Structure 1
Amino acid sequence: MTDTTTAIALIGALGIGAQWLAWRFQLPAIVLMLLAGILAGPATGLVSPRAQFGPVIDAAVGAAVALILFEGGLTLNFNELRTARPAVRRLAALGAPLGWLTATLAAHWVAGLSWEVAAVFGGVLVVTGPTVVTPLLRQARLDPRPASILRWEAIVNDPLGALAAVLAFEIVAALAAAGGHAVPMALAHLALGVAIAGAAGWAAGKALAAAFRRGAAPEFLKAPAMIAAVLAVYAACDSLLHESGLLAVTVMGVVMGNARLPSLGELLRFKEAVTVLLVSGVFIVLAAGLDAPMIAALDWRAALFVLAVMFVARPAAVLASLIGTNLPWRERAMIAWIGPRGIVAVAISGFFGARLAELGVPDAHMLAPLAFALSAATVVAHGFSIGPAARLLGLTSTEPPGALIVGGSPWSAALAETLLKAGAPVLVADRNWSHLRHARVLGVPTYYGEILSEQAEHSLNLSRYGWLLATTDNDDYNALVCTDFAPEFGRRNVFQVGRSDEDEGERGLPVTLGGRPLGAGGDHAAYAERFARGWRFRRTALTEDYGFEDWRRDQPEAELIAVQGRSGALAFSGPDDPITPRPGAAIIFFGPPK
């Protein structure tokens, strides 16, 4: 067994290392973290949380779970829920309660858990989680509609499932604290706890949002102040009424998530980074804390429970909630099948199980190993089957990732037409209706509205596009669009015209803002002027007999814009990272008249 400092470093390294390996090799992160935790704990004894951290481990895990639940509540936007498509609303309003019920029944009748523990576990299992679903959808390249429904279901059900689990946990904890005899007293205790926690969370969320809106805290202190406030609310409520802190911070997150804070985007990104670190650490700690008897307790009933949730509970809840919708049966079948349980569900299950076991609730010690088994099985099964299932049902999107072009002008519409003819999905967006006339005439799909608005976020399916090109005549707006979309598309996949950092030197945009220069780095006026002189976008295929050097010799003035591989995938070029195409690829360029 290592010393405490080494154990802390090892937990961090294993958690983030597993996350990185999962990203690098397109593997399920939860499986790698489970293996890492078991190797570090039961297998080698390098990490033994109880022995190395003592009683402080419970407080640390509790605080981490509080922050995780707050982040879940922060993402529950009521406006998004109202504007979500009918299938998502049904999955939230009907599917979540039905999923809670069916998972509870499976946990009791199949896994043999007591009703109290089964009810808590059923609430946890409502959570599918966008951090697990989104990589699967990206890997399978599912058709836009089922992919969008699955993504939004995960986003909405993540906080709803956490809230359901917290409520069930509060009920069971209150009954256990009363010894199971004075039920009216336990219910009164529960009502008091819910009232205090709800009021405290609501008041704290309102107060913090008002303080941020008035500028009472500078921008660099908002995220740390928010985390400190969450921990303070959690500790204060828990000290007044045991186990009420989790409900308080969940309510606090929901209040702040719907407060329309201007800085909410930055706060969310910071919270997501913290949550990834916390979830990874908690997962490694819980996996390392599994002992041989707990693992051995996963008998045939546990295997049957996993199969019951995957093949009965989840499909029954989804199919029942989608009755009456206009979704084809193939899409319903795909949505009913895909429901992986992620790291958050395991972290919450392990924490609740430990707390309920301390209260003397029977079978509570089984929550953690069952959650590990279910999460690993669903992530592996759904991760490896989503692609073949999508192809079998005819729901696989065969088109390569395309380009979202922000800014309608004659030359950007011509670029979009060239990309569209090359077989890539393209969308031209502009908040000026007349600017989209050129794209509409050329038959290019358009979006009229502010691309940075909530309406665009709710109505556009951006999973079809892997690249963003900001091509308006306002360089500052182009930089704003690229900065806003960089976390979603990836910073190397956002380009803008009008970025001339080399000419401006220290007065240019910092590297943290804006996108990469497109093509040769010209601005909007330069493209418009050359387009007016007859320059056009064209596509040329390269072969062994006619390579890139031959094209450059024939087109010395032309500007390379993008390269399209044999599979149809695009790669845009910039002056800071020029591309040298190989034979078999096609180049898309901007050149003078022939």
Structure 2
Amino acid sequence: MHQIETAIFGAALLGLLSIIATKVSGRLGIPGLLVFLAIGMLAGSEGLGGIDFDDPLAAQFLGILGLSFILFSGGLATQWRTVRPVLGPGLALATLGVAFTTLLVGLFATWLLGISLVEGLLLGAVVSSTDASAVFSVLRERALGLKGQVKPLLEFESGINDPMAVFLTIGLTELALHPEQSGWTIVPMFLRQMLLGGLLGLLLGRASVWLVNRLNLPFDGLYPVLTVMLVLLIYGLSAALGGSGFLAVYLAAVVMGNSEFIHKRSLTQFHEGITQLFEIGLFLALGLLVFPSQLLSVATAALLISLFLMFVARPISVYLSLLPWPMKKREKSMVAWVGLRGAVPIVLATFPLLERAPGANLIFNIAFFIVLTSVLLQGTTLPLVARLLRVSAPLPEKTPLFLEYTPTGAGRNDLVEVNVPHGSSVVGRRIVDLHFPKEALIVLIHRGGQFIIPRGATTLEGGDSLQILAHHDALREVRARVAERAALEVEESAGPG
């Protein structure tokens, strides 16, 4: 029992130190992910803590689990109206971009390290995808706003490009173990993973919304447990059937995030907390897993590969993938620079390590070094590069909601926030004249830092934030009315001539 108690104490202490360190790192402009890795390395077998953790299987399990919940939380926050304009570019970056990066880094690593082409491509695949946890975390931590479609494109790309990287890593690991096989043998696996993972994600997402709304659990505290089980079920079922579990989890979360279900606000906040927990735990575990002495032996080569990835492979991959779309050069350049690498490359590096593939140890250490340099260099310079490229923008003010509402599960009402855009057809009109559905009640208005109790004669203004208690069907109608542009009504009222 002494070992178990010591492990619990050690995990809690490292987690607490990581949380406290985020306050200091934020003021210094250092990404928190880098701090978590550093604490893990300092506590490891070659650091001050002397914790002996050499279990790639446990790290892989924790990584898969953590990434599933991180992707689920990101999917819940993904609004379809922001994704729709970047759907094509995002899919291109998540597939062609990952493939181009794998090829370019693989060829460079093969030439630089003198390893086989398959080993070089395997290294390229391991570090080919941007990391959702790193991107979401750094953007949130730096409170960074980006103009136009840059931010939704980055978040969408980082949420859906992991399946491609996983497929390439597993496929190239098989080719490294069985060099007599043809590379074309992995194509059917790719099609099966993408199609099956995508289909199951959409279907299970709809099924999850139906289940949450219909189950009517006796205790509110069971709803977070229910969603945790749904995440595990979606990933496990999709992966067991040969589909991409990561893609299924993300798409299911997007479906849920764009649907109405009870406890949506509290469940979204719960999964944001779970994401923070897994980010800390995942990066601490990966920091414990690495041996700093082995990093020193590959530092020069790893630094060259990392710089090649940042300044050559990623930009070329982005520009080639986005050729069909008329984006500005500075926006493409920003997308290229925010190609952060985080936990995903280190987790993927455990796959060839566990299979004892040729060059697996070298690949793992180089991947870890690339993550360190990516988070350190790219993560710390995001605000500066955004200003230089003129794509930075102030973050929209997040309205504090002082009214809380907890559905009982017996009905389909919820308390939500609806923002009134400037130019909306409801601007300048009294609430009584809008004829909103009777099942929708405006209970509070936030305007310019003040809270207003609404009355029928209250006139709405652009920028108002409305808290509305409504039935789900009525809420959809209200949102549609608020989203209408005033110009449309002017044209209709003017008539011909």
TM-score class, shorter: 0.5 to 0.7
2:186 and 2:385 map into 1 onto residues whose CA distance is 48
1:110 match: secondary structure: helix
1:290 and 1:317 map into 2 onto residues whose CA distance is 29
8 Å CA contact 2:162, 2:246 repeated in 1: no
1:196 and 1:324 map into 2 onto residues whose CA distance is 27
Aligned AA for 1:43? G
1:80 corresponds to: 82
8 Å CA contact 1:73, 1:250 repeated in 2: no
1:104 corresponds to: 102
Matching of residue 370 in structure 1 with residue 373 in structure 2: no
Quote the offset at 1:254 in angstroms.
Answer: 0.6
Query: What is the number of residues matched between the two proteins?
Result: 416
1:302 corresponds to: 302
Aligned AA for 1:222? Y
1:497 corresponds to: 452
Matching of residue 350 in structure 1 with residue 326 in structure 2: no
1:327 and 1:303 map into 2 onto residues whose CA distance is 31
1:280 and 1:78 map into 2 onto residues whose CA distance is 29
* CA spacing shift, 1:359–1:200, aligned 2, 3 Å: farther
Quote the offset at 1:285 in angstroms.
Answer: 0.7
1:125 corresponds to: 130
Which among 37, 51, 62 is matched to residue 47 of structure 1?
51
Quote the offset at 1:59 in angstroms.
Answer: 3.6
Quote the offset at 1:225 in angstroms.
Answer: 0.9
For residues 441-452 of structure 1, what are the structure 2 equivalents within 5 Å?
none
1:160 corresponds to: 160
2:152 and 2:57 map into 1 onto residues whose CA distance is 39
* CA spacing shift, 1:155–1:237, aligned 2, 3 Å: closer
Aligned AA for 1:68? I
2:14 corresponds to: 11
Q: Relative contact order (alpha carbons < 8 A, sep ≥ 6): 1 or 2 greater? A: 2
8 Å CA contact 2:72, 2:253 repeated in 1: no
2:357 corresponds to: 361
2:227 and 2:156 map into 1 onto residues whose CA distance is 22
8 Å CA contact 1:100, 1:126 repeated in 2: no
Which among 254, 258, 263 is matched to residue 255 of structure 2?
258
Larger Rg: 1
2:189 and 2:336 map into 1 onto residues whose CA distance is 40
Matching of residue 435 in structure 1 with residue 413 in structure 2: no
TM-score (norm 1): 0.58
1:477 match: secondary structure: strand
* CA spacing shift, 1:308–1:39, aligned 2, 3 Å: same
* CA spacing shift, 1:334–1:136, aligned 2, 3 Å: farther
1:427 and 1:192 map into 2 onto residues whose CA distance is 43
- Structure 2 portions without partners, runs of 5+: 402-419, 460-497
1:543 corresponds to: none
1:66 corresponds to: 68
Quote the offset at 1:100 in angstroms.
Answer: 1.4
Q: Deviations over 1:235-257 (max 9, x none)?
A: 5666x57xx58x23531431342
2:60 and 2:395 map into 1 onto residues whose CA distance is 47
* CA spacing shift, 1:89–1:21, aligned 2, 3 Å: same
1:357 and 1:320 map into 2 onto residues whose CA distance is 32
For residues 412-423 of structure 1, what are the structure 2 equivalents within 5 Å?
none
2:62 and 2:142 map into 1 onto residues whose CA distance is 31
* CA spacing shift, 1:253–1:265, aligned 2, 3 Å: farther
For residues 237-252 of structure 1, what are the structure 2 equivalents within 5 Å?
240=240, 244=242, 247-252=244-249
* CA spacing shift, 1:332–1:70, aligned 2, 3 Å: closer
Q: Deviations over 1:33-86 (max 9, x none)?
A: 2221221113214433338xx96555444432333344445555555322x2xx
Aligned AA for 2:8? T
* CA spacing shift, 1:106–1:402, aligned 2, 3 Å: same
1:57 and 1:391 map into 2 onto residues whose CA distance is 37
Q: Deviations over 1:518-550 (max 9, x none)?
A: xxxxx889999xxxxxxxxxxxxxxxxxxxxxx
Aligned AA for 1:255? A
Aligned AA for 1:354? T
8 Å CA contact 2:235, 2:245 repeated in 1: yes
Q: Deviations over 1:559-581 (max 9, x none)?
A: xxxxxxxxxxxxxxxxxxxxxxx
8 Å CA contact 2:95, 2:161 repeated in 1: no
* CA spacing shift, 1:353–1:49, aligned 2, 3 Å: same
For residues 111-510 of structure 1, what are the structure 2 equivalents within 5 Å?
111-112=109-110, 114-125=119-130, 129-136=135-142, 138=144, 147-172=147-172, 179-181=178-180, 201=201, 204-217=204-217, 219-235=220-236, 240=240, 244=242, 247-259=244-256, 260-263=258-261, 264-321=264-321, 329=329, 331-332=330-331, 334-335=333-334, 338-341=337-340, 345-389=341-385, 392=388, 432-435=426-429, 476-478=443-445, 495-498=450-453
2:185 and 2:314 map into 1 onto residues whose CA distance is 35
8 Å CA contact 1:40, 1:288 repeated in 2: yes
1:106 and 1:353 map into 2 onto residues whose CA distance is 18
1:566 corresponds to: none
8 Å CA contact 1:295, 1:369 repeated in 2: yes
- Structure 1 portions without partners, runs of 5+: 407-425, 437-447, 451-473, 483-492, 499-522, 529-594
2:64 and 2:324 map into 1 onto residues whose CA distance is 42
Q: Deviations over 1:179-236 (max 9, x none)?
A: 4546587766776676776666555434322212324446542321121232245456
* CA spacing shift, 1:166–1:286, aligned 2, 3 Å: same
Aligned AA for 2:428? S
- Provide the alpha-carbon RMSD of the alignment: 4.4
Quote the offset at 1:369 in angstroms.
Answer: 3.6
8 Å CA contact 2:147, 2:392 repeated in 1: no
Quote the offset at 1:278 in angstroms.
Answer: 0.4
Quote the offset at 1:115 in angstroms.
Answer: 4.7
2:404 corresponds to: none
Aligned AA for 1:275? T
1:485 corresponds to: none
8 Å CA contact 2:75, 2:159 repeated in 1: yes
* CA spacing shift, 1:185–1:45, aligned 2, 3 Å: same
2:228 match: secondary structure: helix
* CA spacing shift, 1:495–1:294, aligned 2, 3 Å: farther
Aligned AA for 2:65? A
1:435 match: secondary structure: coil
8 Å CA contact 2:125, 2:169 repeated in 1: yes
1:126 and 1:188 map into 2 onto residues whose CA distance is 25
2:396 and 2:203 map into 1 onto residues whose CA distance is 45
2:423 and 2:28 map into 1 onto residues whose CA distance is 34
2:395 and 2:260 map into 1 onto residues whose CA distance is 35
1:49 match: secondary structure: coil
1:396 and 1:125 map into 2 onto residues whose CA distance is 20
Q: Deviations over 1:300-339 (max 9, x none)?
A: 221111111221122223344555766655x347525531
Quote the offset at 1:388 in angstroms.
Answer: 4.7
1:428 and 1:205 map into 2 onto residues whose CA distance is 33
1:443 corresponds to: none
1:578 corresponds to: none
